[in-house]
Structure 1
Amino acid sequence: MTQPVSPPRGGTDKTATAGRPPAWRSLAARADVRTLSLLGVLAALIVIGGVTKPDEFLDTRNLQLVLTQASVIGVVTVGMTFVITAGGIDLSVGAIVALASVWATTVATQEYGFGGILFTSVLVGLGCGLVNGVLIAYGGMVPFIATLAMLASARGLALRITGGRTQVVTVDSVLRLGERDAYVLGIPPLVLVFAVVTVIGWLVLNRTTFGRRTVAVGGNPEAARLAGIDVRRQRLYLYLLSGLCCGIAAFLLIVLSGSGQNTNGNLYELDAIAAAIIGGTLLSGGRGTITGSVLGVLIFTTITDIFALNNLPTDAQQIAKGAIIVAAVLVQRRTASTT
């Protein structure tokens, strides 16, 4: 009597997996569907804006304004995406933007011109990121608590520096970046900076060892440690990166508004987290997408513009944003349960 032949020990039965696509293809397919869905939502919003206010919404200047406003929070969101992908959170980004903007626009700083303002804003962002990173990675503090403390401290220091007053920028080379004469082929310089940051962020997250380590730390910190990754150092680098993005965003905000105020960056942390979530970055860590985060920023900015053009109340705008966030989280949970 013929005995059934079992597959070799330690091997795999090729007939059992012949019809199954590799895991990475499944992930890529889900990412494509998510990206197409976000593009569909953005397209629908553009249609709504074009139908409700065709002359105002589709005007070139309005579209340039939408992209410019998205650039500031977009740069912050790129840094936030890295932090969340690694399983962390940063509630202090808005306060860091405010502190960097007011520190970079003091009279003493403006005496050093364009370079002084840019250098100061970036340095302050890096300094705050360093403090967050050290407290979390080496001090053992929970990211929520550490960044919440930074939020309060940075806001307080920004208020102390300004005394509650607006600091007007007088450096012409900085102000000229916000004028139409500085546009490159009709594209504002701030949008170009946002595009460069986005491309670099995508390459770092998807094509470098640093990006792979970030995903590994967010997916399973203990397994990452056993694989030889210095988890604490990686977390420190990530909060430094977030601080750097806040410093760049602060400079863009200075160019956009021509001033520094302690109220700058208000609720940026919520907008950045929300944009990353609806873009497909998991709050629990282990998966992040720069493309999705950027689309999330564009969706929120477009919603804000449509509501403003139609003179709709702010509370309705916030309700709409909240509904989108809830829907995105529910979709994430459903996707995770079927993985």
Structure 2
Amino acid sequence: MSDEVAVPPVDEHARVERSGGAGSTWGGRLAAVRGLGLVGVLVVLGVVGVVTTHGRFLTGGNLVNILTSSSIVGVVTVGMTFVIIGGGIDLSVGALVALASVWATTLATQSLATSYGAWVMVFCAIAVGVGSGLFNGILIAYGRLVPFIVTLGMMVAARGLAQSISDRKTQLVTVQPINAIASGELFGIPLMVYLFAAVVAVGWIVLNRTTFGRRTFAVGGNAEAARLAGIDVRLHTALLYVVSGLCCGIAAIMIMALTTTGSSTHGDLYELDAIAAVIIGGTLLTGGRGTLVGSILGVLVFTTITNLFVLNNLPTEVQNIAKGLIIFAAVLLQRRGRASSA
């Protein structure tokens, strides 16, 4: 059956867009409660940090370190939030960060950047991310392939391509304007944190105050109803993966600046961190409902836990167990929330 249908009356089109999860009174209240709950979790973690680290946790330097550590995976999580609300999944984000960072730090690219400016490396990283996201989106939306399979394949292929381009070697960044993104500060806060905040702000506006955002909720909530209302579901789905790829490109620039390298190991397990943050932030894995603020709070929760474990010299395996338990709890809360709203 063709996706092309007659365009319905404008009021029906608008009604379907408004009916996406963002407009639900119950959904809004549930999101607010969940957001307050995550803030409460951060407060509890702060208290634990004060008690267990003998004053090392609640310092300006450590709090800035938490924000800086959250920034890269946080940008990836913004794109993941759009994809999951739209009813998809993207397992390739970590590998795309690695591929974009490697491609942007080759000798040829850095030579061009030295001659024409650092924007060459920035453009390269973003182009790789957007192009890869578009490839994912076309296969999923127009090829009618399962998002899990397509992005899993991209994850493997992109990581392998990054290893091939770099010959499994770390490539040093010699273009100083790129490195300055991580070393520069404004009012004592690294520029990376401001870049993270800017991406989150733009993402929030697009998701909550634009037609694109309303259609994302509509497509994720009921793709067939959205199609019958005249929304081009295939095009919109493809664009969601472009947004995810764009965020991966920006994250690649940030990780290049922070580590002063491009490497095929960059972005390792970012897909799991981003999906976990989106889940505990309250976004439904089935799509149609979620909040960007909740996803970012989820990132901060996981980053704070990691920081506490490092400060207390606790092993990584215990940290992973704690993260896993949090994810289980978040999924159970989602099931209870959906049962209550049914």
Does residue 87 of structure 1 match 2:87? yes
1:223-302 equivalences under 5 Å are: 223-302=225-304
Deviation at 1:125, TM superposition (A): 0.2
SS at match of 2:321: helix
Distance 2:263 2:54 in 1: 34
Alignment partner, residue 47 of structure 1: 47
Aligned mates of 1:120, 1:98 — CA distance in 2: 13
Equivalent position of 2:200 in the other structure: 198
Which of 127, 148, 160 is residue 131 of structure 2 equivalent to? 127
1:173 is displaced (CA, Å) by 1.5
Offset from partner CA, 1:143-165 (integer Å, 9 cap, x none): 00000010000000000011111
Distance in 2, Cα, partners of 1:29 & 1:220: 21
Q: In structure 2, the residue corresponding to 1:285 is in which secondary structure?
A: coil
Confirm whether residue 56 of structure 1 aligns to residue 56 of structure 2. Answer: yes
- Alignment partner, residue 13 of structure 2: none
Map 1:66-85 → 2, pairs under 5 A: 66-85=66-85
1:166 aligned residue: 170
What code does the residue aligned with 1:131 have? F
The answer to whether the Cα contact below 8 Å between 2:118 and 2:178 also exists between their aligned partners in 1 is yes
Q: Secondary structure of the equivalent of 2:189?
A: coil
Q: CA deviation at 1:187?
A: 1.4
Q: Does residue 182 of structure 2 align to residue 178 of structure 1?
A: yes
CA distance in 1, matches of 2:253, 2:24: 39
Q: Which residue does 2:107 correspond to in 1?
A: 107
Post-superposition offset of 1:262: 0.3
Please say which of residues 323-332 and 41-50 is displaced more in the overlay. 41-50
Greater CA drift, 157-166 or 45-54: 45-54
Which SS does the other structure have where 1:217 is aligned?
Answer: helix
Tell me, in whole angstroms, the C-alpha distance in 2 between the residues paired with 1:206 and 1:176: 32
State how far apart, in whole Å, the 1-side matches of 2:60 and 2:125 are. 30
Give the distance between the partners of 1:30 and 1:132, measured in 2 at CA: 32
Q: Write the distance in 2 (CA, Å) between the matches of 1:153 and 1:24.
A: 40
**Deviation digits for residues 8-33 of structure 1, max 9, x if unmatched?**
xxxxxxxxxxxxxxx84333222211
C-alpha distance in structure 2 between counterparts of 1:177 and 1:132, whole Å: 29
Which secondary structure does the structure 2 equivalent of 1:57 belong to?
coil
> Which letter does structure 2 place at the counterpart of 1:275?
A
CA–CA distance in 1 between the matches of 2:27 and 2:150? Answer: 33
Measured against aligned partners, the alpha-carbon deviations of 1:80-131 in whole angstroms (never above 9, x if no partner) come to: 0000001100000000000000111111111214111111110100010011
**Cα separation, partners in 2 of 1:253 and 1:76, compared to 1, 3 Å:** same
**Per-residue deviation, 1:55:** 3.2
Asked if residue 147 in structure 1 is aligned to residue 151 in structure 2, the reply is yes
Shift of 1:324: 0.3
- Counterpart CA distance in 2 for 1:218 and 1:70 is 27
- In structure 2, what is the Cα distance between the partners aligned to 1:141 and 1:27? 30
- 1:96 and 1:218 mapped to 2: Cα distance? 24
- Which amino acid is the alignment partner of residue 263 of structure 2? Q
Count of residue pairs brought into register by the alignment: 315
Aligned residues of 2:80 and 2:275 also touching (Cα < 8 A): yes
Amino acid at match of 1:58: L
CA shift, 1:61, in A, is 1.9
Match of 1:337 in 2: 339
Tell me the amino acid that sits aligned with residue 48 of structure 1.
V
- Residue equivalent to 1:4: none
* Residue in 2 that maps onto 1:6: none
Q: In 1, Cα distance between the equivalents of 2:54 and 2:151? A: 42
* Identical amino acids, percent of aligned pairs: 60
Displacement of 1:65: 1.4
Distance in structure 2 (CA, Å) of the matches to 1:108 and 1:71: 28
Cα deviation digits, residues 276-325 of structure 1 (max 9, x gap): 00000000001120000000000000101110111101000000000000
Q: 8 Å contact 2:173–2:261 — kept in the other structure?
A: yes
Contact 2:182–2:254 at 8 Å: present in 1 too? no
Query: Quick one: distance in 1 between partners of 2:220 and 2:27?
Result: 17
Deviations 1:251-272 (A, max 9, x none): 0001111101101000000000
User: Partner amino acid for 2:212?
Assistant: F
Superposed CA RMSD in Å reads 1.0
Answer whether contact 2:27 2:289 (CA < 8 A) is retained.
no
Partner Cα separation in structure 1 for residue 104 and residue 219 of structure 2: 34
- Partner Cα separation in structure 2 for residue 63 and residue 54 of structure 1: 15
Deviation at 1:186, TM superposition (A): 1.4
Distance (Å, rounded) in 2 between the aligned partners of 1:161 and 1:27: 46
User: Structure 2 regions of 5+ residues with no counterpart?
Assistant: 1-22
**Segment drifting more, 295-304 vs 106-115:** 106-115
Q: How far, CA to CA, are the matches of 2:233 and 2:64 in structure 1?
A: 41
Greater C-alpha Rg: 1
* Residue 60 of structure 1, CA deviation: 1.9
